[in-house]
């Protein structure tokens, strides 16, 4: 599923085409997404999109009337089309802009979401319990130490907890832990300060590199312009169970943690 870098790359791709534009109409072809699309979403019609930003894996389109919160789910994608071709089977939502362009949500599995929200965002239950953004100063060794204190869960599981830090999904948790030399099964609350400092540094580096490369194309993800992401070429462990470690040549091990595929090097990660 799209992780934080893929969502951020999408934001970067669509924002220049949306910010400052007025929504001419909202076309909802399939209201049954992960949650039913609120008919009040039609209030966005006639509104100017003031800002397009991201919180965790959510994209937020702000207007004076309210905020449209979009989530790509497992296989969703957003495209800015001008001119827009006829809608396909899985094209569930269009925002028609006064520029003539169309923002189109395509989601074959319908696990994505389009949520219309008019109250303060602090009251939005999907957003108000989230931890810090990993690429901000709010995510730092002190914050991480506090968040992990007393936790007996595996560090990889804790790192993927959005209350600890947002947006570090399975791909990038595997990669950051490898880069930091930390075994994913290590007890989260047992990590000392030097290892936490290294982990914070590597989470930031890995995510920033993935964004720079346009994300990671595994199956469904492509950028907002339809081009693939290239970070897949830099993966050291994810999806490489049984293959040689790029650092030591030993065989990478693959296990399940929290029902997610977890790959690590028994020599390089402790």
Phi-psi region of 226 (alpha: psi -120 to 50; beta: other; left: phi over 0): left
* CA 49/CA 33 separation, integer angstroms: 23
Query: What value, to the nearest 5°, has the Cα angle with vertex 69 and ends 212 and 53?
Result: 35
| 151 annotated among ligand-binding-site residues | yes
| 17 annotated among ligand-binding-site residues | no
198 in catalytic set:
no
Of 3, 6, 175, 202, which one is the catalytic site residue? 3
57 in catalytic set:
yes
108 in catalytic set:
no
| 92 annotated among ligand-binding-site residues | no
Of 11, 57, 156, 183, which one is the catalytic site residue? 57
50 in catalytic set:
no
Q: How far is CA 219 from CA 1, 76, 81, 263, in A?
A: 9, 12, 22, 19
Of 2, 5, 134, 184, which one is the catalytic site residue? 2
Of 22, 29, 198, 260, which one is the catalytic site residue? 260
Per the annotation, where are the binding residues for DNA?
A: 90, 109, 151
Catalytic residues: 2-3, 57, 260
Q: Which residues does the annotation place in the binding site?
A: 90, 109, 151
């Amino acid at each position: 599923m799209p992780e934080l870098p893929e969502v951020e790359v999408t934001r970067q791709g669509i924002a220049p085409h949306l910010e400052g534009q007025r929504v001419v109409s909202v076309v909802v072809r399939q209201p049954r997404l992960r949650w039913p699309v609120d008919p009040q979403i039609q209030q966005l019609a006639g509104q100017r999109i003031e800002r397009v930003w991201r919180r965790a894996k959510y994209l937020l389109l702000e207007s004076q009337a309210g905020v449209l919160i979009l989530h790509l789910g497992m296989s969703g994608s957003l495209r800015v089309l001008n001119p827009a071709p006829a809608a396909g089977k899985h094209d569930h939502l269009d925002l028609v802009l006064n520029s003539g362009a169309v923002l189109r949500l395509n989601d074959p599995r319908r696990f994505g979401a389009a949520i219309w929200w008019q109250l303060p965002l602090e009251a939005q239950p999907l957003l108000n319990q989230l931890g810090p953004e990993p690429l901000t100063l709010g995510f730092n060794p002190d914050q991480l130490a506090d968040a992990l204190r007393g936790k007996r869960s595996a560090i990889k599981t804790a790192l993927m907890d959005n209350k600890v830090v947002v947006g570090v999904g399975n791909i990038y948790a595997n990669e950051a832990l490898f880069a930091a030399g930390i075994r994913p099964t290590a007890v989260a609350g047992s990590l000392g300060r030097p290892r936490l400092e290294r982990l914070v540094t590597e989470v930031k580096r890995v995510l920033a590199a993935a964004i720079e490369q346009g994300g990671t194309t595994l199956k469904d993800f492509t950028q907002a312009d339809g081009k693939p992401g290239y970070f897949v070429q830099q993966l050291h462990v994810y999806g490489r169970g049984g293959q040689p470690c790029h650092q030591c040549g030993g065989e990478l091990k693959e296990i399940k943690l929290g029902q997610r595929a977890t790959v690590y090097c028994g020599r390089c990660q402790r």
